[in-house]
Structure formats: C-alpha cells, structure tokens
Structure 1
Amino acid sequence: MPIRIGANPIGWSNDDLQEIGGATSLETCLAEAREAGFTGMELGHKFPRQPAALKAALAPFGMDCISGWYSAELLQRDADEEMRHLRPHLDLLKAMGSTVLVFAETSNAIHGDRSKPLSQRPVMSAQDWAEFGHRITQVAERTLSEGVRLVYHHHMGTIVQSEADIDAFMAATGPAVHLLLDTGHATWGGSDPAALAARYRGRISHVHAKDVRPHVMTQAAAEGWSFLDAVLGKGSDLGIYTVPGDGMVDYPAVFRALPGYSGWVVVEAEQDPEKAHPLTYAKKGVAHLKHSLKEAGLV
C-alpha cells in the first residue's frame, strides 16, 4: 500500500467532549475532508456502525474507512473477554476493508475527565507490564489472524504516555503488536517522535500526525491543566494541538526515520472548531504533510 493521507473527524467534532463541534454534520465533515485532499477517514461518534450504512455515508465523498478507535480494558479482563467486547468493532473494520485497529487501554485513563490534571494520570508498576503485554499480544495475534493489525495508540492521560512507558510497552509485547506513532502525543509526553520512529520502525504500521503548540504545552504543565482543557484551550486561546506545520514537530525528520513506510498518515489534530476553522487547518496540514513526505523521499 502506498502512503495515503487521511483524517480523523476530531478536528470537526470532538469525541471525548461531544458538544464540541456537536452541530457539525457528518456530511459537512466528509465534504470538507475531501476538499482538503484526504482520501480516507477514521471513525468518530457520528459515523454509522453498520457496514452498509457506513459505506453509503462514505461513498459520495470517495472516502475509505481507515480504522477506528477501540477502548480496551485489559487491565480488568482477559483476552477472551476483550475479544467478545471487540468483536462488533473488529467485524465492522473487516467489512470495510480496514487493515489496522486503533487500540488503547482506557480502563483507568483520565484523558476524558476535565476535573483531573494530567499529573494524576495512571502509572504502571514494573511488575504489571508483563501480564498486560501478554494479554495485548494475545488479542493482537487473534486480530492479525483475521487480517487486521492491532496498532497501539500511546496517549496522554493513559498508562502508555511517556517515552519510558512506550519502551516498557514495546518490550512487554510480542511482534503481532505494532505501534501507532502519534507525533503529538509523543511530543507532549516528552518523547522525540523521530527517535521513536527510528527505534521502532519495524513495528510502526500507522501514523497520527498532529502538531504541538509549545507555549500551550508549557502553560498546561505549569498550571496543572487536564488533557481536555489543554486540547480546547482556555478562553479564546487556541489549544495545544494543531495540524502539521503549525507547531514544533519536525515532520521531515519523522518521515526520514520511517524508510519504506507504507500505509496511512492520518491528521488527527483535535481543536475547537469554533476557534480553529476545520477546513482551513485541514488544508494546511495536508500541504505540510505532502511537502514533508517528499522532502523525506517517501513519495
């Protein structure tokens, strides 16, 4: 598969706080995504979850279904139970021809709770990584046997946030488990996304591309903001995340560290659409990604 540029609808309608962008229709999101140059979309809460209805929604805009987020609870249930919960989502992805499953542990996550600063995010003890990794590997092996690769989404406010967390996670999991490299979460979490790309190149099968406004990152840490408060921004100010080319991430360096990469690069830059016009930012992000991929020699 060549490199394709897709989008997550979170720039139009927020999934964690659904009133943000709540008035934006799915049709507007898809039409503007197509106008910006995207050829595929990840799922959000406004998308149908039946294959026929989802295909009917995407087809007028020439959009493929890339994947969709799945909230796992493997700290609390074994692989068999997780597969039972996962089954409807996995079957939908298979029916849509999706080849990757965006997967994150959320049983004790705080990213959706505005009352909790990120300093209160959960941290795994050293002795718990092995069992957690074993369970995820079991799930990943089963989804891969059905043609869908599990790509783990490291995420602020969860147990896999920092560079040390990512290293521990990768060490604890088997080769069926791949990493979703998220440039924005990596940067905010204290990692260099290009260094992560180089270190785990052989196990990176999906990329989320969002940029980081450094002054917001500094303020959020100093004032103890929650994840959502940082994403949405205080008052009239813009939030921490933005599209590629509008922040501090060196995208050519990231892509140079991914030689031979094929698959999706997904703009997933959640912002408040009342402050950051989705189509304007989407076009800027696509343009910067195309330039960066060309500079890195990937297209």
Structure 2
Amino acid sequence: MNKENVKLAIAPIGWTNDDMPDLGSENTFQQCVSEMALAGFTGSEVGSKYPRDPAVLKRMLDVRGIQICNAWFSTFFADGLKEKTIDEFINHMNFLHEMGARVIGCSEQSKSIQCTTKAVLEEKPHFTEEEWQRVADGYNTLAKLAAEKGMQVCLHHHMGTAIQTPAEIDRFMALVNDDVYLLFDTGHLYYSEGSQQVMMQVFEKHFARINHVHLKDVRDEVVADVRRNRRSFLDGVRMGTFTIPGDGVIDFAPVFKLLDERGYKGWIVVEAEQDPAIANPFEYAKRAREFIREHTGL
C-alpha cells in the first residue's frame, strides 16, 4: 500500500472508553499517546481525556510524532435539533481544524440505543420520511460549513443507530449531496449483517465517497451471545464483541486489496474498543500494528 497516500492511526477508545469511563479509568492521556507512538502509530482520534486547548494538545502530540486525524461528533438532526447541532459542530470543527485534521466523523444519534440497555440486535431505531429528510438537510449544511475550512464531513454508520444497515447507508448516501462522505467501519458493518460478503459489497459500492476508515475485528461467539441473550451494545463491548484486526473473524485481505487497488488516500484507524483490564491496550496496539505492516507494507 502506498505510504504517501495512506496514514495509520489508532483510537484512544482501547485505553479509555468514553461511553463507559470505568473501562480504562486508570489509564492516563499521556500513557495513552505515549503507547500509541511506541506501538508505531502516527495518528490518533480524540478521546475524553485529551486536552482541548490546541496549543497544549499539539505540544504533547508533536513530541511523540502523533497527529490528530478525526474526532467523533454526535448530530441530532432527526430529533429536530438542527440549530443546536450546527452551533456545537462549528466549535468542534474549529478545534479539529486547529489540530490539523481535515475529516470530521459524525454519527446521527437521534433515537440511538447504543448507550442504553436495549437489545442492540433487535431494538434498533428507524427514521420516518420526515426524519430522513431532516438528516439529509442537516448533513448537507455541515458539509458546506466544513468546505469553507477545507474540510470534509463523513457519516459513521454505527450499531444501535438508524443508519446501521446497508439499506440505511444506501439511503443516506443517496439523499445527501456528493460532498457528504462515508466513514467506513469494518466492525460495525460485519456486526450488523454477520457477513463478510455484505461488508465488502457496501465497501465497494460506496468506495468513491469513503474518506475515513475504521479497522476493527469482530468475535462471532460474542455476537451470538448478544443475540441469544438480547444484550445491549455496551454489554457486548464489555464482553469483547470487538477486537483488533487479525484477532477475530473478518478477513482483512480483501479490505486491504481494495484500498490499495483503488488508490485510497486518507487515514485508516484501528478502533477496537475492549476492556483494557482484559485486553492490554499497548499489547493489542503493537499486535495490530504488526498485523497491518505484515499485510500492507505500511
């Protein structure tokens, strides 16, 4: 894979989980970014423990050779909170711009059950026609605002949300303008559909508008337990639904092949939230880095 085109990052969620702060509460920000660098990564997304003063954060990252590539942003357009969402987005965008990031990964969280006790595989939300249009209009607005800063907005399809399945991703991408992009997440697509083939079909179909990639693997036996016992998304995370590439059931060879053959330019990010007391973040980061090096040459 072309090292000039593709940069490699890792998310801090393996060290401290922002949705469940007790997972990794003992791990500090400085430990996290130091271990990212030691493991061989040059990029990071932003976690809850990261300083929000760009001058402070830049200094701490520069000395470790780490660059910010993205940070999660929750939108609530379907709920009718357009003005509030846009106001918060502008502040978020300005912070990322100062940090040198050019991609803003957003998740439409209206009706989301990802942080509730609801059964993630049986009780996912759905949008009405009016709600879909609100989402499309909202994301088109965000894309215009981002373009003024030389940035791009992408939608993170996510378990427990109303934009999770291939059909929902297709609908979103058809409704929004071409300057709204997709953050493709291997783990969430496989988790949703239980199929490598479907995951790759979505990847290929929307490849031209994918500007950010999350690499995570899935443990089928945990997903089976989540389904059987009607567990929540967060229950599954605690139990180990996700893991690093090469440690689960997903075959990443075709993922890497498509990225290479079609000349992907941007960041690929290892984002594998687990309980750090069980899956040591530094050890798993090193294993992920070695797996990617072995299979891509990066």
- 2:25 alignment counterpart: 22
Q: 2:11 aligns with which of 1, 5, 8?
A: 8
Once the two structures are TM-superposed, the CA of residue 127 in structure 1 deviates from its matched residue by 5.3
1:247-267 C-alpha deviation (Å, 9 max, x unpaired): 111212112223100111100
Task: Give the ranges of 4+ consecutive aligned residues of structure 1 lying more than 6 Å apart after TM superposition.
Answer: none
**Does residue 1:122 correspond to 2:125, yes or no?**
yes
Give identity over the alignment, percent: 36
Q: Which letter maps to 2:115?
A: G
SS in structure 1 opposite 2:269? strand
Instruction: Give me the whole-angstrom Cα distance separating, in 1, the residues matched to 2:133 and 2:205.
Output: 21
The 8 Å contact of residues 8 and 266 in structure 1, kept in 2 or not, is answered as yes
- Cα distance change on mapping 1:184 and 1:225 into 2, 3 Å: same
- 1:197 alignment counterpart: 203
Deviates more, 1:281-290 or 1:212-221: 281-290
1:261-287 C-alpha deviation (Å, 9 max, x unpaired): 011110000000001111111111112
Q: 1:224 aligns with which of 224, 230, 246?
A: 230
Instruction: Give me the whole-angstrom Cα distance separating, in 2, the residues matched to 1:73 and 1:2.
Output: 33
Once the two structures are TM-superposed, the CA of residue 50 in structure 1 deviates from its matched residue by 1.5
Deviates more, 1:83-92 or 1:122-131: 122-131
Once the two structures are TM-superposed, the CA of residue 79 in structure 1 deviates from its matched residue by 4.7
What is the number of residues matched between the two proteins? 289
- 2:40 alignment counterpart: 37
Instruction: Give me the whole-angstrom Cα distance separating, in 1, the residues matched to 2:132 and 2:99.
Output: 33
- 2:96 alignment counterpart: 93
- Cα distance change on mapping 1:147 and 1:80 into 2, 3 Å: farther
Instruction: Give me the whole-angstrom Cα distance separating, in 2, the residues matched to 1:227 and 1:101.
Output: 24
Instruction: Give me the whole-angstrom Cα distance separating, in 2, the residues matched to 1:78 and 1:229.
Output: 29
1:143-184 C-alpha deviation (Å, 9 max, x unpaired): 122111111100111111111111111111111110000000
Instruction: Give me the whole-angstrom Cα distance separating, in 1, the residues matched to 2:227 and 2:81.
Output: 35
Once the two structures are TM-superposed, the CA of residue 46 in structure 1 deviates from its matched residue by 0.1
1:85-138 C-alpha deviation (Å, 9 max, x unpaired): 11211111110110000101113211112x221122211235542332122112
Instruction: Give me the whole-angstrom Cα distance separating, in 2, the residues matched to 1:277 and 1:146.
Output: 38
Q: 1:207 aligns with which of 206, 210, 213?
A: 213
**Does residue 1:152 correspond to 2:155, yes or no?**
yes
Unaligned 5+ segments in structure 2 are: none
SS in structure 2 opposite 1:264? strand
TM-score for both structures, normalised by structure 1: 0.92
Once the two structures are TM-superposed, the CA of residue 19 in structure 1 deviates from its matched residue by 1.2
**Does residue 1:265 correspond to 2:268, yes or no?**
yes
- 1:236 alignment counterpart: none
Q: Which letter maps to 1:219?
A: D
Q: Which letter maps to 1:175?
A: D
The 8 Å contact of residues 181 and 193 in structure 1, kept in 2 or not, is answered as no
Instruction: Give me the whole-angstrom Cα distance separating, in 2, the residues matched to 1:78 and 1:219.
Output: 36
TM-score for both structures, normalised by structure 2: 0.92
Unaligned 5+ segments in structure 1 are: 234-238
The 8 Å contact of residues 137 and 173 in structure 1, kept in 2 or not, is answered as yes
